[in-house]
Amino acid sequence: FDGTHIVSGSLDTSIRVWDVESGNCLHTLMGHQSLTSGMELRDNILVSGNADSTVKIWDIKTGQCLQTLQGPSKHQSAVTCLQFSSKFVVTSSDDGTVKLWDLKTGEFVRNLVAL
């Protein structure tokens, strides 16, 4: 919730962006394969973590997925927590890792914790 928008995750794997004043659904964001386990919204950027082990970066004004944080260094289990700044995304997972990613490029930077 940012005062103008509300985002919600659903068991049907979608994320919906709602207009607070009208109650209308502005966008249905599709791309995850399981339950969304965490989201953070700042300005028009939404970062979502999922039980499918992926993290996605969305533009809620356009409904477009800007990045999927993946590749050989991606999480191997459900993403349990996330937070982001103007430069980085930090994610944690049931796989025992905490990872640092570049917000703009979606590239893996490094493991902060690896158990």
% the chain with pLDDT above 70? 100
Q: What is the pLDDT of residues 56-68, one digit of tens each?
A: 999 999 999 999 9
Instruction: Tell me the pLDDT tens digit for each residue of 33-57.
Output: 999 989 999 999 999 999 999 999 9
pLDDT of residue 115: 84
Cβ neighbours of residue 60 under 8 Å, at least 6 residues apart?
5, 7, 17, 26, 27, 29, 41, 44, 45, 46
Domain ranges of the chain: 35-114
Q: Per CATH, which fold does 35-114 belong to?
A: Thrombin, subunit H (2.40.10)
More confident residue, 2 or 26: 26
Residue closest to 27 by CA, chosen among 8, 48, 49, 12? 8
Would you state the pLDDT for residue 73?
95
